[in-house]
Amino acid sequence: MIRTQRLAAGVCALLAALAAGIAFPAGATADETTAAAPKVDLVLDVSGSMRTKDMDGGTRMAAAKQAFNEVLDATPENVLLGIRTLGANYPGDDRKTGCKDTAQLYPVGPLDRTEAKTAVATLSPTGWTPIGPALLKAADDLEGGTGSKRIVLISDGEDTCPPLDPCEVAREIAAKGIGLTIDTLGLVPNVKMRQQLSCIAEATGGTYTSVEHTDELTDRVNQLVDRAADPVVTPVAAEGAASCAKAPTLKSGLYTDREEFGQERWYRVDVEPGQELRASVSVSADRAVNPDYGVLLRAVTVHGREIVRGEAAGIGRTDVVSTGLRYPKAESDDDDAPAETVCVQVTHSYSAAAGLKTTPGMPLELTVDVVDGPSQASDVASFGLGRGWWLLGVLVLVGFLAGVLWGWASRWRVAVWRTN
């Protein structure tokens, strides 16, 4: 009897170990898996205007509820999802109170679909539209963890709680360098609302979508939630210096920073002999700026001699200007040759429109990649044509033979014509 009990206990222990191995792959604990999980906070406008009946014959609120139910059904298992409301609780006329009306309807975490749907079903269009305060609270909802973070804001009107500008709030969130993206969806938008929601999205590298039908809303929210589950490289916040001597040393990776108008940002990168430095930078206009602008990326020695540069310009038709550079460090016969410190400088020529707030600075994204350089003996051949030299020879020979054949055929046709 005792032997049978021990055998049963052993089998149970083995099954438990196998289940744990399936749930959490080797080397990963439950806490590590949760910490790396992507997070999404759906922020829904429940202000009084959501009663309007102009979405497929129903109210905007009804369209939002239907979309949420379908999105909750389709949410990937590894996504930690939450729901926050704005304007859902206070029906009065006091602006100070109405502008505090944002609440967490469902906390960010593992999704209980039934509980989340029940919470959404209780919503009724009520109050104000405090977008700025809701974004600040949503950023707090997503704190912690190493996975991607995304806010999806769904609104049918512009913010009603000045002087707190939701676009400035989005810029402040982006300036923290926490890798949080805000996507916005405007229900039956007007020009002013479109401008505000676009500005919020652009400040964090997100997207704005205009929505006028229920199925469009469902499809777009589903896309954004799915996108959060995709593996992404999270940028690391870096603070460049005003000179190379005080600049931080960066390894290969993706970095974000802020650069004010007329400012320089310097970084340092160590490049070993035989390696190649590849760097690129993008600076985005997250506010209204004057047309005609550019961005300059330079690689400079610690003594101030320019090695190589990349530059690009814009004329107001795009919100982002990008450029890049490459610097191969020659191999050395000395195996103990030290690495070279390369100073990387970023400057831009954006200028502020009249009355524009200049802080925080313009968002920039810097990519640094230090790789093994190409072998000159194998990759470079005569006349700089590389491995394409033999192809050029074949093309010349084919062209010569084609010319001979064409000439012979032409003479034969003329001879036949004369004979006839």
The residues, ordered by sequence, that sit 6+ positions from 138 with a Cβ below 8 Å of its Cβ are 41, 43, 84, 151
**Exposed, middle or buried by CB within 10 Å (0-12, 13-18, 19+), for 411?**
exposed
Single out the residue of 128, 184, 181 nearest to residue 159, CA to CA: 128
Cα separation of 263 and 249, whole Å? 19
- State which amino acid sits at residue 61: M
Single out the residue of 131, 128, 143, 155 nearest to residue 64, CA to CA: 155
Residue 397 carries which DSSP code? H
Residue 135 sits at φ, ψ, to 5 deg, of: -65, -40
Q: Which two tokens stand for residue 397?
A: 């020979």
Cα separation of 407 and 255, whole Å? 62
**Which SS3 state, helix, strand or coil, does residue 313 take?**
strand
Residue 302 carries which DSSP code? T
Residues facing 340 on adjacent strands: 271
Other CB atoms closer than 10 Å to residue 244's CB: what's the count? 20
Q: Which pLDDT does position 83 carry in this prediction?
A: 97
Cα separation of 60 and 50, whole Å? 5
Architecture per CATH, domain 236-374, reads as: Sandwich (2.60)
Q: Check residue 116 and give left, alpha or beta (phi > 0: left; psi -120 to 50: alpha).
A: alpha
Each residue's pLDDT, cut to its tens digit, for the chain (420 residues) gives 444 444 344 434 433 333 344 344 445 455 555 678 899 999 999 999 999 999 999 999 999 999 999 999 999 999 999 999 999 999 999 999 999 999 999 999 999 999 999 999 999 999 999 999 999 999 999 998 878 899 999 999 999 998 889 999 998 888 877 778 999 999 988 888 988 998 898 888 788 888 989 999 999 999 888 887 776 566 788 999 999 999 999 999 889 899 999 899 999 999 999 899 999 998 888 777 888 889 999 999 999 999 999 998 877 656 678 899 999 988 877 778 899 999 999 999 988 877 777 788 888 989 999 988 654 433 433 344 444 556 667 777 777 787 778 777 777 776 766 666
Indicate the domain borders of the chain: 26-229, 236-374
Cα separation of 120 and 84, whole Å? 10
Q: Which pLDDT does position 63 carry in this prediction?
A: 94
Cα separation of 321 and 184, whole Å? 23
Class (C level, CATH) for 26-229: alpha beta
Q: Which pLDDT does position 203 carry in this prediction?
A: 84
Q: Which two tokens stand for residue 117?
A: 């749907």
Cα separation of 154 and 81, whole Å? 15
Per-residue burial over 122-154, b = 16 or more CB atoms within 10 Å of its CB, e = otherwise: ebebbbbbbbbbbbbbbbebbeeeebbbbbbbb
Q: Which pLDDT does position 418 carry in this prediction?
A: 67
**Which SS3 state, helix, strand or coil, does residue 161 take?**
coil
Cα distances (Å, whole numbers) of residue 87 to 21, 129, 131, 167: 45, 6, 9, 18
pTM: 0.60
Q: Which two tokens stand for residue 193?
A: 């609302």
Cis-peptide into 162, omega within 30 deg: no
Single out the residue of 344, 348, 367 nearest to residue 358, CA to CA: 348
Strand-by-strand arrangement of the 293-300 sheet: 264-271, 340-348, 293-300, 306-314
